[in-house]
Amino acid sequence: MTLSPTVENYLKHLFTEQQDSDAELLPMGKLAAALAVTPGTATTMVKTLADAGLVTYEPRGGVRLTARGEQHALNVIRRHRVVELFLVKVLGLDWSEVHAEAEKLEHAISEKVLEKLDELLGRPDCDPHGDPIPRATGKLAVMQFKSLMECELGLPQRIMRVLGQDTGFLQTLHRLELVPGAKVTVQTRAEFTDSVNVKTAGGKTTALGASAAAKILVQPA
């Protein structure tokens, strides 16, 4: 069975949205928002996916990937992340711009090309944002990192992963040297001003808002 790019996108977003809200069923509104389509469009498509056995759908309840749907979703995510890493490591594209490119390429990569890319890159575990790359078998490593909002103060931390794909956000992080692999220390966390003070390897100190700090995941260095 070959899935259309559109269907692949529904499955991919279904998986990622499902992951970061641990409810039983994903509300249709969340899915529609993630895909930037109207709720009516999402409903129509989800019914089609349910008929194809890729999701279970409860009217006015929500939607959830079946095991089969999840395998397809993981395969799309694998293609996406391998391509992202290829664009950065082999072609030298900017960390902040590869997401949009990969969105198009992920639907045009055959299993054979994917395998060759994976080999060329040395069977990588993570993409340039630190997002784990599902194995060809469908296995996805689940890493539990703390964010800059939760980690210990004063202790050196290594950035492991950055959530979010907005180009501007990523460009800023790059400028601030807040990229996966970099070492940082959270100096203070101001309670009511919604702000975190972070010292980078370069010695500079930067103030981050809570929503930004929550997207930067670290582990003690």
- Name the residues that contact a copy of itself, by CB under 8 A: 87, 90-93, 97, 101, 104-105, 107-110, 112-113, 116-117, 120
| Contacting DNA within 44-63 (CB under 7 A) | 44-48, 57, 59-60, 62
CB atoms within 10 A of CB 29: 11
Give least dist CB 25 to a copy of itself, A: 33
Burial (0-12, 13-18, 19+ Cβ within 10 Å), 203 = exposed
Give least dist CB 106 to DNA, A: 15
Q: Are 198 and 187 in contact (CB under 8 A)?
A: yes
- State the Cα–Cα distance between residues 31 and 14, nearest whole angstrom: 6
* Partner touching 151 among a copy of itself, DNA, none, CB below 5 to 8 Å by kind: none
Tokens (6 digits) for 126: 């993570």
Give least dist CB 66 to DNA, A: 17
* Partner touching 7 among a copy of itself, DNA, none, CB below 5 to 8 Å by kind: DNA
- State the Cα–Cα distance between residues 95 and 179, nearest whole angstrom: 9
Q: Are 26 and 17 in contact (CB under 8 A)?
A: yes
- State the Cα–Cα distance between residues 221 and 200, nearest whole angstrom: 13
Give least dist CB 213 to DNA, A: 26
Q: Which is nearer to a copy of itself, 60 or 112 (CB)?
A: 112
Using CB under 7 A as the binding rule, whether residue 112 contacts DNA is answered as: no
Residue 111 in 3-state DSSP? helix
Give least dist CB 97 to DNA, A: 23
Using CB under 7 A as the binding rule, whether residue 16 contacts DNA is answered as: no
Q: Which is nearer to DNA, 48 or 187 (CB)?
A: 48
Contacts 24+ apart (CB under 8 A), 33-40: 35/9, 35/10
* Partner touching 109 among DNA, a copy of itself, none, CB below 5 to 8 Å by kind: a copy of itself
Q: Strands 62-65 and 55-58: what pairing? A: antiparallel
* Partner touching 110 among a copy of itself, DNA, none, CB below 5 to 8 Å by kind: a copy of itself
Q: Which is nearer to a copy of itself, 101 or 177 (CB)?
A: 101
